[in-house]
Structure 1
Amino acid sequence: MSNENDIITPGMQDYINRNNSYLAKRSQYIQDEVKKWKFDTIAVHGLYSVTDAINDYQGSIIEPIFMSTSQAYRDSDEMAAALAYKIPTWCYSRIANPSTYYYEWTLALLEGYGFDGETTCCSTSSGMAAIMTAVQPFLHVYNTPAEPRNFVATAQCYGGTFQQFSIRLMQERNIECRWVLDATNLDEWNSKIDENTRFLYGELPSNPQLSFFDIKAVADLAHSHEIPLICDSTIATPALLRPISHGADIVVQSVTKSLTSSGFGIAGAVIARKNLTSKFSDDELKEDFALNVKLLQNRDFGPNLHPLQAVMSLNDMRTIRSKMDLMSRSTMKIARSLNSHPQVESVQYLGLPDHPQHELASKYMWLVDAEYDELYNKPVNRYGHLMSFCVKGGAEKTRGVFDNLKRIWRATDLGRIKSVATIPAISTHQQQGEEGRKKAGIPANMIRLCVGAEHPDDILADLDQALNAAK
């Protein structure tokens, strides 16, 4: 990533040799120990070890928060080697910071759990910044500014994603987004790909419709055209779904959501497998996409994550498997109950057998390590804690139900430890307009509900009184 003509002084070479030795030991530690741990152990410890704590951080058992803008160097040789990216560094917190490193290493390991290859991670300030970071490198102009560029994406996606693709990229930069309306139809995906298609992009489960697609089939299709598959797996989290293990090249996480259930701040991440597929990228980008965009693209664009938020997010992630299990079970109970409620027109939840993609989701969505859990001792499907339902009686009746909620919070947020609801047509997906919402399958009478860790009976009681009060 540095200039081939950089002069390496003897002092710089000494630093490089020492740091190469450190990196080799860390890689060996990952292969010999960390890769053998169960998911929960990785979530709790990541790469922060007792040795790190004792030798470097005065024995702190929790990763320290480095509230500093920059790193000091021993001499000019170390600075020159660091700024040429020849040794690990956190020269400036816009580029890197020890706290964000621990956050990135943990997420890379969690998304790569069960994957034979290597994964790396680039932290970002939000989920939207993560999407920009993931797609931007594939949209470069190679010949002339007018050269046609396009990408293919699922229309069933978060409203912010729809805006970024349709407004920021299509309208402002003339980069065509070709929307897939039925993500389960492989022929539709294939029909939209040509020699100028840079990548395929899919969100699953989608927000708020809870749609799904066959990850392996779409990844194989992408690779047959020598382009990558990028997946937004925010709703599932790596506790329930790890797309890289099924062929995806890059995973986007809005860590703000389920991964950090406390709701204390905003964070994002891009996790990529090494040696991804892309005929439009140079070898360095393909070899280690996440590190490349971290040290080059994001250095220049600046969507950095604050070190305080990195450690706060880490603390939330430590118990992600047990939280997703608990909240998924509660959501299943609520979805089943609402499915037979006289005031409810329909329920959208992948765990229900009558959902069109239930069988497909059941192929991919599993509670990680359930077979090692004494409560289950076998593989167990879990479908997450996001669901939606449509109210009988139209938009005004839906607003009445929404306004009558007492325990469930009215907000555009999701993934919280507390249950939160919104009406997507007037909130998260308002800006994409009626035509865009119709394309994405978001009616005006839909309420999106993200179930928290409360007892499900209390959530059901609140839903029931709200539905009945709005008759």
Structure 2
Amino acid sequence: MEYQQRLQTQITNRDKAKAYIKNKSFDTIATHGVYDLNEALANQGSVIEPVFMSTAQGFSHADELQAALAYEIPSWSYTRIHNPTLYYLESTLALLESYDCGVEAGCCVTSSGMSAITTVTDALLADSPHANFVSSSQIYGGSFQQFSIRQAQKNRQVRWVAPDAPMQSWAAQIDENTRFIYIEVPSNPGLAMCDIEMLAGLAHANNIPLIVDATLATPALIRPFQFGADIVIHSLSKIIAASGSVIGGAIIAKENITARFLPDDVSANFCQHLKLLPNRDNGACLSPMQAFLVLSELRTLRMRVDAFSQNTLKVAQFLQGHPKVEQVLYPGLLDYPQYQLAQKYFELVDSAKNSLHNQPEKRYGHLLSFRVKDGVQAAKQVINNLRLIFCATDLGRVKTIATIPAISTHQQQGDKGRQLANIPDNLIRLSVGAENADDIIQDLDQALGNHNNCNNNHHGNIDVLQRPHR
């Protein structure tokens, strides 16, 4: 039939486009993705990927409709299931995350980072009424709540392990009902590292997948597939879309993930399974406009991560020498507790290609945390004194943002949960943006210098924050 010939031509062209772009550099993949001249000509010559705002796709006749809804032919049918704009974003994210890793990967974008986490964990835990999973104790507050409360309501048990615990401590938590290991690298807000390679080996020895939330690193700094991870999760709302205009999430899974409890066809293409079945029914889809906005920002990811990271190191070094700062946590500092592990995993992608001496450059991301002397009230006053830096429960922005996790993003964990995650009350999380580093430092200096001045309040009382946000 005519539609079958048309679709076969489309499949052939897209396979060629992917094979061609996959051999290019990171920035080139981020800029072009799989949108080549053939795709452009199919979209009236548009140089930039179009936004398909239509909720549904029309078909030439009933047989094509039937085949599409039975997933027998490539189509997008209905935007809750798929959409061409989502295809351009998902293909690009999969290529970037698998860049230089020697694996093939798929991607499923979702309505938020939390929906991505929920989609993955529910899919992997669904087969057993007594399933458990092992997680690093230092993760984002929303993830902590999802694991400790929402999954517990479904009779699924999380088993916490400190990120720097020896491998035998992780291994001791795994049994026949364990479905996966979950880590966040680096963690929010404590910047803790886990040894991805070692944990991937442990997971695979037990025939279960390793899941890595790499939101803070992005594929510009750490690509967990290089070290054996099976599934990578991102909150697209953060540094990947630094403008702050997007809420979205992404699941990237390599082909044939290690999961003894999944059918072979699901393990082979886990993201396609999520898109066409669980997410079809649960409705965790990303809107086409949000996908387009992410795609637009993705083109400059490596350059932004490079610039923000250099800013952050300068700010961290300043804070390290400030008399009113008790401790600074940043992987690029020599006294960072897991400095050697950070050296193993952090590297600016393609930096060796772009340097004069063919040597890779170390970059450590846009997030740091620091502890203010004299406790939580002093930390609050520092926040209140800030003039340039915004007080908000957000990170990864082009603008520098600060918050106190104990009273905001990790408030609902309670005292015991924060103690488990090593989040003291006087910890300030600082997401460094694109401003001149000297201006950021100047604002921090005056805020720290004036933290005994209770009348200098530019942001008001921040105790009103009630819910965990990233």
Alpha carbons 1:184, 1:214 under 8 Å: kept: no
In structure 1, what is the equivalent of residue 15 of structure 2?
27
Query: Which runs of 5 or more residues in structure 2 are unaligned?
Result: 453-470
- Whether 1:277 aligns to 2:258 is yes
Counterpart in the other structure of 2:388: 407
Counterpart Cα distance in 2 of 1:421 and 1:454: 14
Aligned partner (choices 31, 48, 54) of residue 35 of structure 2? 48
Distance in 1 between residues matched to 2:418 and 2:387, nearest whole Å: 28
Equivalent runs, 1:227-376 vs 2, <5 Å: 227-374=208-355
Which AA in structure 1 matches 2:7? N
1:68–1:232: structure 2 CA closer, same or farther, 3 Å change rule?
same
The amino acid that maps onto 1:72 is G
1:389-468 equivalences under 5 Å are 389-468=370-449
Question: Could you tell me which residue of structure 2 aligns to residue 8 of structure 1?
Answer: none
1:126-141 paired onto structure 2 within 5 Å: 126-141=112-127
2:136 pairs, out of 149, 154, 162, with: 154
Amino acid at match of 2:437: P
Question: CA separation of 1:376/1:85 partners in 2, compared to 1, >3 Å: closer, same or farther?
Answer: farther
| Aligned equivalents of 1:15, 1:200: Cα separation in 2 | 44
Structure 2 residue aligned with 1:62, among 39, 43, 48? 48
One-letter amino acid matched to 1:447: I
- The alignment partner of 2:151 has SS state of helix
Using structure 1 for the length normalisation, give the TM-score.
0.94
Cα distance, 1:19 vs structure 2: 3.2
The 2-side partners of 1:21 and 1:247 are apart by 35
- CA distance 1:313–1:80, change in 2 (3 Å): same
Aligned to 1:199: 180
Give the superposition deviation at 1:458: 0.3
Post-superposition shift, 1:26? 2.5
SS of the equivalent of 1:346 reads strand
**1: CA distance between counterparts of 2:396 and 2:433?**
7
Aligned residues: 452
**Which of 358, 361, 370 is the aligned partner of 1:380?**
361
Aligned-residue offset at 1:20: 4.5
SS in 2 for 1:36: coil
Q: Deviations over 1:43-87 (max 9, x none)?
A: 001011122112x11111111111111000001111111111111
Q: Please give the alpha-carbon distance, in whole angstroms, between the structure 2 residues aligned to 1:168 and 1:375.
A: 51
Structure 2 CA distance for partners of 1:157 and 1:30, relative to 1, 3 Å: same
Aligned residue type for 2:136: T
User: For residues 202 and 358 of structure 2, what CA distance do their matches in structure 1 show?
Assistant: 35
> How far apart, in 2, do the equivalents of 1:182 and 1:127 lie?
21
Match of 1:72 in 2: 58
- Deviations for 1:61-117, whole angstroms, at most 9, x for unmatched residues? 111111111000001111111111111111111111111111101100010101212
TM-score, normalization by structure 2? 0.94
Tell me if structure 2 keeps the 8 A contact 1:267–1:309: yes
The CA deviation at 1:181 is: 1.7
Structure 1 residue 27, shift from structure 2 partner: 2.5
Aligned to 1:173: 154
Question: 1:126-182, CA deviations, whole angstroms, 9 ceiling, x for partnerless residues?
Answer: 00001011211111135xxxx421000011000000010011001x11100000124
CA-CA distance at 1:22 after TM superposition? 3.5
Change (3 A) 1:240 1:210: same
In structure 2, distance between residues paired with 1:362 and 1:435: 31
Q: Contact 2:17–2:34 at 8 Å: present in 1 too?
A: no
Match of 1:6 in 2: none
Shift of 1:337: 1.0
Deviation, 1:25, is 4.2
Quickly say closer, same or farther: Cα 1:329–1:375, change in 2 above 3 A. Answer: farther
- Is 1:225 aligned to 2:206, yes or no? yes
Q: Is the 8 A contact 1:353 1:359 kept in 2?
A: no
Shift of 1:229: 0.3
Which amino acid in the other structure matches residue 347 of structure 1? V
Structure 1 residues 66 and 430: CA distance shift in structure 2, 3 A: same
| Residue type of the alignment partner of 1:39 | F
The equivalent residue for 1:37 is 24
Match of 1:104, SS?
A: helix
Partner of 1:190: 171
Per the alignment, residue 86 of structure 1 pairs with: 72
| Letter of the structure 2 residue corresponding to residue 111 of structure 1 | E
How many percent of aligned residue pairs carry the same amino acid?
Answer: 51
Between stretches 372-381 and 337-346, larger displacement belongs to 372-381
Instruction: Report SS of the residue matched to 1:432.
Output: helix
CA contact under 8 A between 1:389 and 1:447: conserved in structure 2?
yes
What is the alpha-carbon distance in structure 1 between the residues aligned to residue 403 and residue 358 of structure 2?
A: 37
